[in-house]
Structure formats: C-alpha cells, structure tokens
Amino acid sequence: MERQPTTGGEAIINTLGQNGVEYVFGVSGGAALPMFDALRTTDTAIELIQAIHEQGATHMADGYARASGKLGVTLVTSGPGAGNTITGIMTAYMDSVAVAVICGQVPTTVIGEDAFQETNIIAISKPIVKHNHQATNPDELSLELSRAIHIATTGRHRPVLFDVPKDVSQNNISVVRSFETPPSNTGDGSTVPDPNSVIAIADAWRQAKRPVILAGHGVLLAASSSELLQLALQQETPVTTTLLGKGAIPESHALSLGMLGMHGTAYANKAIIEADFLLDVGSRFDDRIVGDAESFCKDAFIAHVDIDQREIGKIITPNVGIQADARVFLKAMLGEMALGKTVDRSDWQKQLTEYKKDFPLSYETGNGLTMQRVIDETYKLTRGQAIVTADVGQHQMWAAQFYKTERPNTWITSAGAGTMGFGLPAAIGAQLAKPNEQVIAFVGDGGFQMTMCELATACNQKLPIKIIILDNSYLGMVRQWQELHHDNREIGVGMPGNPDFVKLAECYGAAGILIDSEDSLEAGLAQAFEITDRPVVVHAKVRKTDNVYPMIPPGASYDKMLLGPPKNLSID
C-alpha cells in the first residue's frame, strides 16, 4: 500500500495509465466530472477522444480494441449516458471484445432515491458484461478497476462495467490498494488442453480423407494465425472461417475456403457437406454457421476447441471437446500431428479446387452499379491491405465475400449482435489504434445514419478514414428477407428520406464524393484515396433490390443452399 494525496478520479485515471491505456472514448457529464477532470490533473498521457454520443464512444473503444489487441475504454456519465452505452456493450459482449465502460453515478448518499440522472446500470448491464462493479470506497478504486481490467482481458475477452458514484470519485483517498493477484475465479477455468483429447483428435485427423478446419474469432484473439496456417499446411487441410474469423488465414491462400455459413462461399459450404472431419477452433457454432443442427456435419468427426467451456456442446455435440486457448492448443496439435503419418489428401484438394471453379463468387456488370462491384474495386485499389470495418446488412455480407482479408485483426464488424451504426465509430477507433494504416468503413445508408453524428469526431481528429456509403435506399437485408420469406411484402424498409450524403459530409468538414454509375466508379474511388488530410465520404448510389447469394435459408440444412433466386437450382 502506498499513500498518495489524490482523488478517487485521479486514482482511476492513474490506474488506466498503469494498464497501458492510451485513449479514452467518452462523453462528459455531471456525475463523471471528477474523472474527466483527472485527465487534466494527472501525469498520464491518456488522450480523451470526445464522441458525440455514448453509443458511438463505446463502438470506438470496441474498434480500437479489435484493431490493437488492447483494452478499449469508454468514459461516460450516469443515467442516460451510461444507458446509451448498452448497445455498444452488447455488441462487444456478443463478439468477445475487451472493453471497459467506466460510468459516473449519483452520490452514494442518494442512490435508490431516484435522484437526477440515476439509473441502476449494474442491474441493466448484468446480462451483457463479464463483470460489473459499483465502487463504494475511494481507497479500493485502483484495486477494483485493475481487477475488472484483468477479467476483461484474460480468458474469453468480454466487456466489463465500472460504476463510480460522484462522491467516491471526488473525495480524497488515503491509500492506494494494489491489485497483486488475479481473481480466483473469472469463469474461464483452465486453458491447458487435455493431452488425451489432443491425441484423440490427432488420431481421427490422421485417418480423415476430407478434413476441414473452421477458424473463429478465438484464433485471432489468441494471436495464433501463424500456428493455424502451419498446421493447415502440415496436414493439407483447407480452412474456412466464421464472419469474425476472417483473417485467421490469408484469404488469397490456396487452402482458404473463405467464409462459411448462411452467406458463405458455395465451395466452403460444399466442403462442410462432404467433410469427414471438422476441427472448430475458436468458434461458438452460432446459428448462422450451423443452420439445421441435426444435419450439420452429421457424418463427420467433430472436434471443438474453445476457451469458454460453456460453448462446448451448447449447439453442436462434438466427438471431442477441449477447453483451451487456441494458440496453446494449436501448438500442442502441431507437436502431436508430427508424430504420425496421415492419409493422402490430394484428391480432396483437387475436388475443392474444382468447387472453386464451379461455384465462384461473382456479380453482374453492365447493368447498373452494384455493391459487389464497389467493394471489389476498392479491394483491388487497396490490394487488400486496408483495415476494413463493416456495418450490418447486405453490404456487410458482400464485403465479407469480396474484400479478402489477408492479415489478422484487419476485418472488424458486428457479428453476434448485428448492430447497425457500428461501422463508422469502429473505424474511428481502428484508425486511432493503427494511425499508419488505411481504414475503410463500408456502411449502408440505413446503418450509417444511426451514428453519422460521429463524422464530427472523425473530422475533429482529422482521421483519413474512407467511409463508403452503399446507398440502395433500403434496409437491404430486411427487404431481402421480406422478398424471400414474406411474399415480397415491403414494410418499414424503404429509405425515402436519405439526405445528400456529399453535402452532409461537407457540412461536417469531410470530403464528399458522389459515385452514381459504373463509369464514375474507378475515378471516384481514386479521388477518394488521394485525400489524406481528413475523412472522405463516398456516396455510392447502387442498384436497389439485389440479393445476397449464396444463401442458406435460416435454420435450413446446407444442401438447401441457394446460388441465386429460388427459381434457380440449388447446389445439388
């Protein structure tokens, strides 16, 4: 214990600095003022990124965390300030992202009295955080905040919330209690793979003629992409990924099958139909991957590796399940697989190569500008080297298909929660995390308008992000489902009131570029990427009613995959 003449707010900011925090994304307010004031009165180098809205601030912290691999931090006030972070917290929780939300609270003397801007954020946030805590003792602030950070960044990464009453952050503290030992139970258990289970997986893999690896977000969180590729090469085994797993293996690699599932590549989905062995590392077998659980890989040996024991057997019952960190497991598997011979898999590789030729990703040209074309041309222009954030909807799926991810942690999107409005603020966080990288946000006209106020934040910071608005004047994915599953009865999906996005960008101080035809595409994109001193909004007016294919209908088996409109033949 070290005596320090400091306030609770200063203890919080000092603790963040000691934990390597460089940015705090926030919106100020009365109950949080002692903590915001401490950003000026302490010696830390933490920079405040002032957002316009607390949801945007939380998405910024999320994007920062995903791009950097570090903790993202949001600082807000009580009541509506804390409440506005809930969508961002839920997004981070569903996608296993380490974010710490620190919020002010009314003084302890009036908690429970419905004081001005009082909200029981502890109760509200409980289902969507890994840990939350309301501070009551200024002397315990450093210890408890460090403990919360430890919980967020170990085991399965997930958000935490730290609620600080104003009197606790404002009062002087007499001692600083240090956080020295990790909590005895963070809910993650052991991350060392069981040796017998590793051997069982290896034995089954050696005999498999048609093996497939499914790589999820856990591979990226464990920084184990190199081990994954080494193992795939060693065993001549193709790799498909979840939406969040993009980048676990370079998608231009011969062993990459691209994304799996509802809107995955046809050849990845076909491989799953025929696989006799599936190794899932760091994926939770969500419904968009599995479809019909009873028929999913029903004739295959399934091995499931996840850092969270609760995910093993929750959706799919594996032949072998291992609770382990992905990197530790992959290293163990590399050693074990090197001890024995495997069957020849050249026929499997040839078959998958044929599937790539027979079922390629493609799009129409010469009949109006499509989202796919805009994304593909952006990919070619950047040579696939940008960090891409995507909002949610049709453009998200097309971006996942046509913008190949070559490096870990360069594809950032909201997968589990499917949060519209995520793309722009996440791009702001990613650009601050990686200032020397090109950052692109693919957004729809609907989702963009949910957080477009954060253009002010991007302009204030002079961030050279490229915001590509794919404007079809629809909530496109919802319209697609209405067409396919509700007899094309459109309701609540048109966007007739869209603004002139070029003028909007210019009002904020960003550059605005209009692309409204195939002929203007290449020149418009080239112009956008030449501007590097401020954000650029590209308003791409695209065809209105295109649908995303391939598509496995929700809850359906893989053999029901559609390659085009229902009148077309399925994959069989």
* pLDDT tens sequence across 90-99: 999 999 999 9
Integer Cα distance of 248 and 245 in angstroms: 6
Note whether 275 and 297 are within 8 A (CB).
Answer: yes
**pLDDT for the residue numbered 187:** 46
Q: For all residues of the chain together, what is the average pLDDT?
A: 94
Query: Where are the chain's structural domains?
Result: 6-173, 195-358, 371-549
Active site residues: 54, 116-117, 166, 477
Calculated CA dihedral for residues 506, 507, 508, 511, nearest 10 degrees: 0
The CATH class given to the 195-358 domain equals alpha beta
Gap between the Cα atoms of 312 and 315, Å rounded: 8
Q: Is the pLDDT of residue 189 over 90?
A: no
Cα 235 from Cα 348, distance rounded (Å) = 12
Question: Between 3.30.360.10, 3.60.110.10, 3.30.1490.110, 3.40.50.970, what CATH number should domain 371-549 receive?
Answer: 3.40.50.970
Give the pLDDT score at 153: 96
Residue 212: the pLDDT is 98
Beta bridge partners of 172: 7
Q: What is the pLDDT of residue 180?
A: 64
What pLDDT score does 110 carry?
96
Q: Which amino acid is at 91?
A: T
**In Å, what is the CA distance from 13 to each residue of 79, 100, 118, 269, 451?**
21, 13, 23, 48, 27
- Cβ pair 148, 116 in contact under 8 A: no
3-state class (DSSP) for residue 371: helix
pLDDT of 84 reads 98
C-alpha dist (Å) from residue 381 to 163, 215, 511, 521, 525:
45, 27, 19, 11, 8
Tokens 């692309």 label which residue? 515
Q: Average pLDDT for residues 513-521, to the nearest whole number? A: 97
The backbone torsions φ and ψ at residue 540, rounded to the nearest 5 degrees and listed phi first, read -100, 110
Look at residues 224, 99, 216 and name the one whose alpha carbon lies nearest to residue 157.
99
- Structure confidence at residue 135 (pLDDT): 97
Question: pLDDT at position 565, please?
Answer: 86
Give me the mean pLDDT over the 299-304 stretch.
Answer: 96
286-308 average pLDDT score: 95
Taking Cα atoms as reference points, which of 219, 200, 237, 163 lies closest to residue 8? 163
Longest dimension (CA), the chain: 75
Closest CA to 277 of 246, 307, 245, 320: 320
569: confidence class by pLDDT, cuts 50, 70, 90: very low
477-516: per-residue pLDDT in tens? 999 999 999 999 999 999 989 999 999 999 999 999 999 9
Contact 415, 94 (CB under 8 A): yes
Q: Which of 515, 484, 517 is nearest to 502 (CA)?
A: 515
The average pLDDT across 156-172 equals 97
**CATH 3.40.50.970, domain 6-173, yes or no:** yes
Residue 567 has pLDDT above 70, yes or no: no
Residue 289 has pLDDT above 70, yes or no: yes
Q: What pLDDT digit, counting tens, does each position of 303-347 carry?
A: 999 999 999 999 999 999 999 999 999 999 999 998 888 899 999
List beta partners, residue 101.
Answer: 74, 161
Query: Which tokens sit at 398?
Result: 């097309």
Q: What percent of the chain has pLDDT over 70?
A: 96
Rounded to whole angstroms, what are the CA distances from 400 to 114, 183, 310, 356, 403? 46, 38, 28, 17, 6
∠ CA 122-145-134, rounded to 5°: 25
Q: Sorting pLDDT into bands at 50, 70 and 90, what band is 270? A: very high
* Same fold yes or no, 6-173 and 195-358: yes
Distance CA 284, CA 287 (A): 9
What is the SS3 assignment for 146? helix
One-letter identity of residue 517: S
At residue 508, the pLDDT reads: 98
Query: Which of the residue ranges 5-14, 158-167, 419-428, 488-497 would you say has the lowest mean pLDDT?
Result: 5-14
Give the bridge partners for 102, in sequence order.
75, 162
The token pair at 221 is: 């969180």
